Amino acid sequence: MSCDSKKTWIKIPDCTTPCVNEVAKDGVNQHNKASGDSLVYKRVIVGWFWEIDDHAIKHRLIIEVVTSKGVVLIYELIIVVVQKDGKRVRTLISFLPGYLDEKNPLIFWIKIPDVKKSCVQDCAKWAVTEHNKITHDYLAYDSTVEGWYHEVNPFVIIFKLHIKAKECIGRVRDYIAVVKEEKPLTEKIKKLEDFYLIRPKK
């Protein structure tokens, strides 16, 4: 490795190689051992690496796994591989469920495990209120079905929330709200990036 390598994520050109699959499988095994899950590794969809130094590489892999019920899920796996005493030591950093953004594969939306938490509820309610201010609509917040988040950097996080809201005629419909939350100093600054109706599938 070159000491001049850029400190950034570099896309892995071929994720089907034995060494990449070995790293991914080990990450799944470490997760299963720590959590008690029984996920089965399937494949690496896309991946990146980050040269920490001449002896360590951080891998970010988007993988498919199969549950004990045969359901295929997508996870983001981050694992560090260190060359030590002639051996490779792998340490799992994170293992999170979610999905790749349809437009930008660099963005991985991580599923929020509990959307009933006050911070998520506050964000969802704020999104409806802000939407009403911008569009002069009269939606009333009902509930949050599910949600995801993406950390842009330590100070900026983007929430993508599937919410239910009631129209003035009493009909409850499903919406997606995308909220950017910044915390430069002490107060959080929110911006409504998108808010749209989820059309029923035909």
Query: What's the total number of domains in the chain?
Result: 2
| Within-domain flag for 83 | yes
Per-residue pLDDT, 7? 63
Do 21 and 91 lie in one domain? The reply is yes
CATH number of the CATH domain containing 25: 3.10.450.10
| Within-domain flag for 106 | no
For residue 46, give both structure tokens: 């896309």
Do 133 and 59 lie in one domain? The reply is no
Mean pLDDT by 10 residues, the chain (202 residues): 54 94 97 96 94 92 95 94 89 92 83 93 97 96 96 88 96 96 82 94 71
| Within-domain flag for 110 | no
Classify residue 28 as exposed, middle or buried by CB count within 10 Å of its CB (0-12, 13-18, 19+): buried
pTM score, two decimals? 0.72
Domain that holds residue 184: 118-197
